[in-house]
Structure 1
Amino acid sequence: MYVSEDRISHLAHRIVEKIWRDDLADFPDEARALQSVKDTIATFFHLAAEVDEAVRKKLASYSQAKVPGSRDWEILYQKFYQEEMVKRKW
């Protein structure tokens, strides 16, 4: 899934603002905190796209491959997706 830089920036600002407003953390360098959150969000979406691609390839080569979007396909997709995320320690 592609997420634009603007969307990532918007999400990062909302997260930093919420953490600050709920008094969960103080940021001595707000710009650095914001950049850290942006980097984390971008990394997550990049990883999610890689995992999605790997799972779709695995399902395509699976001998009992089902039709994408079918109930069986969705069940296998979720199972393989979780396995890939665990492998990548996310």
Structure 2
Amino acid sequence: MRISRDKLNKLAHVVADTLAEIPECDFLEDRNTIRQEARKCLEKLLTDEMRIDAAARAKIASQRKIIVEGSQEWAILYRKYYEDEVKKLGIS
């Protein structure tokens, strides 16, 4: 999923602001540094998700039989291949 730079920045601000509201959470860095790190983490997560999605779709496309996207068979294979790719990255 592609998210605009503005939306990603907004999410990072929400993360930093939410953490700041938690009494048990003390920042060792300033809030802007926390926001930037949250943004980096979100970017990496989205990049990984796009890579996993592309790999799962490629595996389905490489099948001998043509499997139509949106069909039940496609959905089952996508879920299986997606989970396999997640396990490869150790993200379970």
Aligned residue pairs total 90
* Distance (whole Å) between structure 1 residues aligned to residue 24 and residue 41 of structure 2: 18
SS of 1:50's equivalent in the other structure is helix
Match in the other structure for 1:69: 70
Unaligned runs of 5+ in 1: none
Paired residues for 1:11-50 under 5 Å: 11-27=11-27, 28-50=29-51
Cα gap change, 1:87 to 1:5, in 2 (>3 Å): same
Cα gap change, 1:24 to 1:56, in 2 (>3 Å): farther
* Distance (whole Å) between structure 1 residues aligned to residue 24 and residue 6 of structure 2: 25
One-letter amino acid of the structure 1 residue matched with residue 78 of structure 2:
Y
Calculate the aligned-residue CA RMSD, in Å: 1.4
* Distance (whole Å) between structure 2 residues aligned to residue 59 and residue 24 of structure 1: 46
Does 2:4 correspond to 1:4? yes
SS of 2:70's equivalent in the other structure is coil
* Distance (whole Å) between structure 2 residues aligned to residue 45 and residue 25 of structure 1: 26
TM-score, length of structure 2 as denominator length:
0.87
TM-score, length of structure 1 as denominator length:
0.89
